[in-house]
Chain A
Amino acid sequence: MTRFRTLLSDLMHADRHADRVVPPTGHTAWLTLFTAGAMTFLAVFALALSLASGRLADRWADALARTATIRIAAPPDQMEVQIRAVLDVLATTPGVASARALTDDEQRALLEPWFGPDLPVESLPVPRLVELIEEDDGYDAEGLRQRLAAEAPGAVLDDHTRWRRPLVIAAGRLRLLGWASILLIGGTMAAMITLAANASLAANAQVIKVLRLVGARDAYIVRAFVRRFTLRALAGAAAGALAGMIGVALLPSADAAGGFLTGLGFTGAGWLLPLLLPPLAALVAFLATRTAAFRKLKELT
């Protein structure tokens, strides 16, 4: 904890004189600025991807978990009897909030993507569907299956588990992928800034030599470089975050007909999350430069 407070103090109260002893120009300045900007820009999209995946996983898990379908396959003359029997069973099943048979129009709409708009559903031997919505506590799926087998032998309960689970897993993995991307981006940025810091330290060997000669402590020299790199990373990351947020804002907005990609963005307070990236980038730069500088100083003198 003390060490953390020291680090924070170094970051917040870095000596401006120390900053000045490092020449202000050099390719490492632009490298750091560009790296932080580009990485934060990518991190904004990774964050948007992760949040969108999370929302999708939650939506699928929630919406699909509360509904189930009963498929009834029976000869045409027994279809209505079977439907009635199923609805009667459902009406007396604890945990079932409501149940209804899909109309011909609804069934036609479901089949339209495969058979076109004018499918004569009523004259074809297609199974009929009954949709049920469960209560919060849910119902006993196995018990319901057994009752259906007894009362309506042609009825099969599909509680969506079979295809819901892989979808939810896929969305969850996508969310993890987003977070992993952010971590990788952070790691890459740390590596790039470490390289830039090492290059800067090597290029400023004379500065370090002079500072050591006049009695500068390692911490003083390190602060000079750390402050410079932290501020550069903060500035670059702020620009990258802003550009990323504009990019996300320009993506098509989510709508009912849209797919996953049109929902890729931030909603509500989620727009505040990208604003955390510049301070995080600065922290990454601070730690990376500090570590590199102390290591390099021990090598140089």
Chain B
Amino acid sequence: MRIESGGVLGNGVRHVRASEGCAVIAFDNVAYNYGGGELLSEISLRLAPGSFHFLTGPSGAGKTTFLKLCYAELLPTAGRVALFDRDVRGLSRDDIAHTRRRIGVVHQDCQFLDHLPLATNVTLPLTVSNREPDVRDLTDLLQWVGLADLADALPPSLSGGERQRAALARAVIMSPDVILADEPTGNLDWEMSLRLLTLLVELNRMGKTILVATHDLNLIRQAKAQVAARVLRIRNRRIQLAGADL
């Protein structure tokens, strides 16, 4: 099954069809096998620059695996995954590291370097790229996610919501082209989930490609009210475009 998926750029008013050669992430007949059977199969899709997608499906359906394939944490057992038009199989370990600097990832159980303060954790992508963080930019970013007062706090002292927002700040500090979020609101209350969603929508309006794996249908409905998001659903190891039943 091939899904040609569109996206939103700018203020969310211009709809762009994905076209050959400009997809940031492309799956071509991809399968993934954990050894105990096939988890994903026959997946073909292209995520256009500036698009906003949700990925849904029951627990264990393969959402996290799909996301890991999107940032080359896993390699497909069959088919082809291309990130920014480069086949991941042809990437060296250094190439993968460089590619990940263009992809911000937010996990449900977002992990940090617990011995370093929040500000240092947020600037970690810059540090590993041998770039000096701009203090004003960092302050702006922490204010944007509402964590300016916690710059010196150690990660273990942060609440779930604060950790999610810190992870989002870390994910966007390199101004990546793509942001992948795996159940980012899984541990958050509704108010905090909406706040995080607002941040993701703002990023999308800046032109970032967003892919959020979630089983929270309310969140998806809320997002669709703000942005032209598309919903992908994993069912029977395959990915489908979800319809109006959402």
B-binding residues in A (CB < 8 A): 15, 17, 20-21, 23-24, 206-207, 209-220, 298, 301
Contact = CB atoms under 8 A, between A and B. Distances in A.
A236 to B, nearest CB: 22
A210 B98 CA distance: 15
Given A210-B124, A220-B128, A215 B113 contact: no
Given A17-B127, A206-B111, A213 B105 contact: yes
Which residue, of A17, A20, A210, A215, has the highest number of chain B Cβ atoms within 10 A? A215
Contacts of B170: 214
Nearest to B104: A214
- Secondary structure at the A interface, as helix, strand, loop or mixed, is helix
Interface of B: 71, 73, 93-94, 97-101, 105, 111-116, 120, 124-125, 127-130, 170, 174
B124 A214 contact: yes
A225 to B, nearest CB: 14
B74 to A, nearest CB: 10
A279 B19 CA distance: 58
A168 B42 CA distance: 78
Contacts of A219: 94
B145 to A, nearest CB: 16
A215 B129 contact: yes
Contacts of A212: 97, 100
Contact of B128 (A24, A206, A211, A298): A211
Contacts of B94: 217-219
Contacts of B124: 21, 210-211, 214
A215 B113 CA distance: 15
A218 B73 CA distance: 14
A214 B125 contact: yes
B116 A210 contact: no
19 contacts: A15-B130, A20-B120, A21-B113, A21-B116, A23-B115, A209-B111, A212-B97, A212-B100, A213-B71, A213-B105, A214-B128, A215-B99, A215-B100, A216-B97, A216-B128, A217-B128, A218-B94, A219-B94, A298-B93
A215 B111 contact: no
- Ranked nearest first, the 9 interchain pairs of A and B with the lowest CB-CB distance are A215-B101, A216-B128, A215-B100, A214-B125, A217-B97, A23-B115, A214-B124, A17-B127, A215-B97
B28 to A, nearest CB: 24
A218 B100 contact: no
Which residue, of B98, B120, B125, B127, has the highest number of chain A Cβ atoms within 10 A? B127
Contact of A210 (B71, B99, B113, B130): B113
Contacts of B111: 206, 209-210, 213
